[in-house]
């Protein structure tokens, strides 16, 4: 019984929680790895000498209870782990890793000295506290093992800090309190104690004008700061995704949220593309209007066809003049060398579109590399469950709706993490894998056959439209080809979705990637046929007319019809699908991420294809994306449910940006380069009329510079060796690919280094366990030797050890 009581007493004394200074510490210990090992060895030696000479007070407690004088009694752990003696546990509790961080006394001393330096100009010098080591560490002696005046010193430092804070202005005092690495409760206590009474404030205000001026200055700074916060809040309130993204992420998870984040990214890309076009093309040409054409009356159908009264406006290529903008000229009067040097519209048109595409390319590659670094993070996901549980809550949230939203978001994250963890644990037999491979091959053959049929249908229908041209009075017939293609784009993904039910993928991520691949093949085939139709067939049939305006209007019609079909599908198609699912499947359908994302990429590709022929097409895309965001959000909340199998979309943003970069942007760049370098412009409209190619505008400008004088010879040299020479283009492409390759290799190297460091940390932990076991064995051997030695009899005890004299 006494042994059990003694063990309980010892466990109660030794199971010491960490001090508040350790919990509130914000700075890491400055010890490096080698110093930690040295200090660990030194602590073991010091504590061993201290135990041998003086003994722990735990031994005295055990002796008072009638236990043996040895302080090395072992403690039994409930989980059956290793059992260590009390002396070993005391040494372990004094290790640097157990007491790492700064104590509260060191924090208070630091901020007291800081306030003294701030108040020195007002109230003279005050004594600075003695230096406290930043890594001052409490030990077990503070917990009833040894009397230590540290508590009294801490209270004294606390009172001195309160006095110094009372002498500071309110703004400076609040700023210093916010920066202190203390808990919120301790900061509230300091704020309450450091408030200066009103009588003292009035007395201080009468000392001089210095305090009044400083108070006025801080008041103005606070007012400006509050005004800036109000303006920033208003700016955030204007964004359509202010609270929507958090709500979507909380209810539907990161997979559905990735679609809306991608839509937001596309909106930023289009704004970046529109700015140089408006600044250097649209605004300049609107300021210098060319000769007016007889504009037809607007009937309202122009919003769908893009023709009519929209034709002779800054929206299309044919409206822009082919000379400098300081001399007006007619549509056929200006030659390629007319005008003077100030602002050549052909050169501005060519270089502005090229610069806008180059900026978009750089931004897209940077975004893709940044997203790659964020999603494929070098650290592993080990311990992410504990981080999500204990570190995800935002304690600044005070409103009920915000707390519920954050709770739903954390719950959804945990579901996704657990679902991904279960997928990693699953396995499949060889027969099952062969059966699945056969089903996948069959479904892919059917999907490719459907894509081939759609491409042949588009090619055949486009040839029929060329053979039977539309009459000028029947502009509604121009919508037939966009209508047919939108029907194919709408129906084929549902066919792919039906075929995907035969595959039965275990991983929802793989299911989404397969659906994205099939939709991507469909969109690429259709756009390839359309590019051949525009530049290969339409240019030859529209000789003598402005074929650039026709291509620009055609792309506008495709964008408008695609937008209308997206709205109809969101408002009615998903509603009908929800009604069918609720009756047949007893639940709402899931949000089709693959089809919706590929629709966004398809619309953005149409925008990039039409920038050369319609400079204001990015503005149409921006308006389209803003409306689509609200409609898709409303349809998602009303007609869809969260994925039945939660999955973590950690790489979805990177995949979306990669698809946007390589198939979409690269294809649009090849299309525009072919139009600039190979296709002959129209002779009746546009800034490149009467030229063989659009690229020849730069050559004409260089020749004009050489004729003006020797001052522009360096520009002609740059054009000859940097623009006309294909080596520079190949060099720039090689450098871009090298940067992407080096970025990938750096990430791989970081992963390898992280793995090596984790392995080293694991080995260090094993080394520490080995040292602890060796230390424990040393104490056990000492105990055995002490037990073998005969205890001295009472006759040999000195008189001062007699029990009666104690």
pLDDT tens digits for range 485-520: 999 999 999 899 889 888 887 777 888 889 999 999
Q: How far, in whole angstroms, is CA 737 from its chain's centroid?
A: 24
What is the Cα–Cα distance from 140 to 15, expressed in whole angstroms? 10
Kindly tell me the number of DSSP H helices and DSSP E strands found in the chain.
30, 0
Locate tokens 């560490």: which residue?
137
Report the Cα–Cα distance between both ends of the chain, in Å, rounded. Answer: 26
Q: Tell me the per-residue pLDDT of 402-439, one tens digit each, with 9 for 90 and over.
A: 777 778 778 877 777 777 677 666 666 788 788 888 99
Beta carbons of 102 and 134 less than 8 angstroms apart: yes
Helix (H) or strand (E) holding 281: none
Secondary structure of 48-85 in the HEC alphabet?
HHHHHHCCCHHHHHHHHCCCCCCCCCECCCCCCCCCCE
- Report d(CA 576, CA 563) in Å as an integer: 19
Task: Please say if the pLDDT value at position 352 is more than 90.
Answer: yes
Helices (H), 426-507: 430-467, 480-503
Q: In whole angstroms, how large is the CA radius of gyration of the chain?
A: 38
641 bridge partner residues:
590
| 47 within 8 A of 139, measured Cβ to Cβ | no
- The mean pLDDT of 285-302, rounded to a whole number, is 80
Contact 653, 256 (CB under 8 A): no
Dump pLDDT digits (tens) for 114-168: 666 666 655 444 444 444 443 333 443 333 334 445 556 777 777 888 887 887 7
Query: 334-357 in b/e burial notation, b at 16+ Cβ within 10 A?
Result: bebeebeeeebbbbbbbbbbbebb
> Taking Cα atoms as reference points, which of 60, 56, 135, 121 lies closest to residue 88?
56
Q: Are 336 and 690 in contact (CB under 8 A)?
A: yes
- Which DSSP symbol is given to 396? T
Q: Report residue 566: phi and psi, to 5°.
A: -65, -40
Question: Is the pLDDT confidence value at 803 over 60?
Answer: no
For residues 80 and 1, the answer to whether their CB atoms sit within 8 Å is: no
CB atoms within 10 A of CB 361: 15
Q: Which of 53-57, 104-108, 300-304, 596-600 has the lowest mean pLDDT?
A: 53-57
Q: Is 223 exposed, middle or buried (0-12, 13-18, 19+ CB in 10 A)?
A: exposed
What residue ranges do the domains of the chain occupy? 1-193, 197-238, 432-472+481-640+658-687
User: Which of 14, 91, 16 shows the shortest CA–CA distance to 51?
Assistant: 91
Q: Is the model's pTM score more than 0.75?
A: no
Query: Judging by beta carbons within 10 Å of its beta carbon (0-12, 13-18, 19+), is residue 179 exposed, middle or buried?
Result: exposed
Mean pLDDT, residues 557-582: 89
Helix crossing, 2-14 with 57-64: angle to 10°?
A: 150
pLDDT tens readout for residues 624-659: 999 999 999 999 999 898 887 766 666 788 889 989
Bridge-partner residues for 590, per DSSP?
641
665: its two tokens: 């942007």
611 DSSP assignment: T
Q: Distance between CA atoms of 548 and 546, rounded to whole angstroms?
A: 5
The C-alpha atoms of residue 410 and residue 389 are separated, in whole angstroms, by 8
Write the CB contacts of 2 (distance below 8 Å, at least 6 apart in sequence).
Answer: 65, 66, 67
Higher pLDDT, 199 or 267: 267
- Please tell me whether residue 541 adopts helix, strand or coil conformation: helix
3-state secondary structure of 291: coil
Length of the chain measured in residues? 806
Cα–Cα distance measured from residue 140 to residue 99, given in angstroms and rounded to the nearest whole number = 10
Q: How confident is the model at residue 610 (pLDDT cuts 50, 70, 90)?
A: very high
> What pLDDT score was predicted for residue 220?
85
How does DSSP classify residue 792? P
């Amino acid at each position: 019984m006494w042994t059990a009581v003694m063990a309980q007493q010892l466990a109660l004394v030794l199971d010491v929680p960490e001090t508040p200074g350790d919990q509130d510490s914000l700075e890491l210990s400055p010890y490096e790895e080698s110093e930690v090992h040295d200090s660990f060895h030194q602590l073991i030696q010091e504590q061993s000498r201290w135990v041998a000479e003086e003994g722990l007070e735990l031994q005295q407690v055990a002796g008072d209870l009638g236990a043996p004088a040895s302080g090395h009694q072992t403690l039994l752990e409930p989980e059956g782990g290793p059992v260590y003696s009390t002396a070993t546990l005391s040494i372990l509790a004094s290790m640097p890793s157990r007491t790492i961080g700064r104590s509260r006394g060191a924090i208070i001393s630091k901020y007291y000295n800081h306030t003294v330096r701030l108040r020195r100009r007002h109230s003279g010098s005050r004594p600075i506290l003695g230096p406290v080591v930043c890594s001052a560490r409490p030990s077990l002696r503070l917990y009833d093992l040894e009397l230590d005046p540290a508590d009294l010193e801490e209270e004294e430092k606390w009172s001195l800090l309160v006095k110094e804070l009372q002498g500071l202005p309110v703004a400076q005092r609040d700023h210093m309190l916010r920066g202190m690495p203390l808990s919120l409760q301790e900061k509230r206590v300091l704020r309450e104690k450091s408030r200066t009474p009103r009588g003292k404030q009035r007395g201080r205000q009468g000392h001089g004008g210095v305090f009044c001026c400083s108070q006025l200055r801080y008041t103005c700074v606070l007012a400006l700061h509050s005004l800036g916060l109000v303006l920033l809040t208003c700016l955030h309130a204007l964004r359509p995704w202010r609270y929507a993204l958090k709500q979507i992420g909380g209810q539907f998870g990161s997979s559905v949220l990735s679609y809306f984040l991608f839509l937001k990214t596309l909106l930023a890309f289009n704004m970046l593309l529109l700015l140089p076009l408006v600044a250097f093309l649209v605004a300049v040409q609107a300021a210098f209007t060319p000769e007016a054409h007889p504009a037809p009356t607007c009937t309202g159908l122009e919003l769908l066809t893009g023709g009519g009264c929209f034709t002779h406006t800054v929206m299309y290529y044919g409206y822009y003049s082919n000379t400098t903008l300081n001399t007006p000229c007619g549509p056929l009067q200006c030659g390629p060398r007319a005008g003077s040097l100030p602002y050549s519209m052909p050169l501005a048109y060519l270089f502005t579109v090229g610069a806008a595409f180059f900026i978009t390319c750089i931004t897209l590659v940077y975004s893709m590399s940044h997203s790659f670094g964020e999603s494929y993070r070098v650290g592993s996901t080990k311990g992410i469950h504990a981080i999500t549980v204990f570190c995800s809550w935002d304690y600044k949230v005070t409103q009920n709706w915000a707390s519920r939203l954050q709770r739903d978001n954390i719950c959804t994250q945990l579901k996704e993490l657990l679902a991904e963890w279960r997928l990693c644990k699953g396995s499949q037999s060889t027969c099952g894998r062969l059966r699945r491979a056969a089903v996948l091959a069959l479904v892919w053959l059917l999907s490719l056959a459907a894509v081939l049929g759609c491409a042949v249908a588009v090619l055949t229908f486009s040839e029929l439209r060329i053979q039977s041209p539309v009459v000028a009075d029947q502009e509604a017939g121009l919508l037939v080809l966009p209508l047919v293609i939108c029907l194919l784009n709408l129906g084929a993904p549902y066919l792919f979705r039906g075929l995907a039910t035969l595959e039965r993928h275990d991983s929802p991520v793989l299911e989404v990637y397969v659906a994205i691949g099939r939709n991507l093949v469909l969109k690429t085939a259709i756009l390839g046929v359309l590019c051949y139709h525009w530049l290969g067939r339409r240019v030859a049939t529209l000789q003598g007319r402005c074929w650039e305006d026709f291509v620009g209007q055609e792309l506008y019609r495709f964008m408008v019809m695609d937008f209308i079909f997206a709205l109809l599908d969101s408002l009615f198609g998903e509603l009908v699908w929800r009604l069918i699912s609720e009756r047949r499947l007893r639940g709402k359908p899931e949000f089709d991420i693959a089809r919706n994302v590929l629709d966004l990429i398809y619309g953005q590709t149409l925008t990039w294809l039409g920038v050369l022929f319609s400079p204001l097409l990015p503005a149409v895309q921006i308006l389209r994306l803003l409306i689509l965001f609200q409609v898709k959000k409303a349809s998602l909340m009303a007609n869809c449910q969260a994925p039945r199998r939660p999955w973590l979309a950690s790489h979805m943003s990177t995949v979306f940006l990669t698809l946007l970069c390589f198939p979409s942007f690269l294809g649009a760049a090849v299309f525009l380069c072919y139009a600039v370098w190979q296709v002959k412009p129209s002779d009746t409209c546009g800034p490149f009329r009467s030229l063989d190619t659009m690229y020849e505008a730069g050559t004409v400008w260089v020749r004009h510079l050489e004729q003006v004088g020797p001052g522009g010879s360096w520009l002609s040299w740059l054009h000859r060796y940097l623009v006309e020479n294909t080596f520079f283009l190949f060099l720039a492409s090689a450098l871009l690919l090298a940067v992407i390759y080096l970025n990938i290799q750096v990430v791989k190297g970081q992963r390898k280094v992280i793995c090596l460091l984790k392995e080293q940390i694991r080995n260090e932990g094993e080394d520490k366990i080995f040292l602890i076991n060796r230390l424990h064995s040393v104490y056990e051997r000492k105990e055995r030797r002490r037990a073998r030695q005969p205890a001295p009899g009472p006759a040999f005890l000195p008189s001062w050890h007699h029990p009666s004299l104690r």
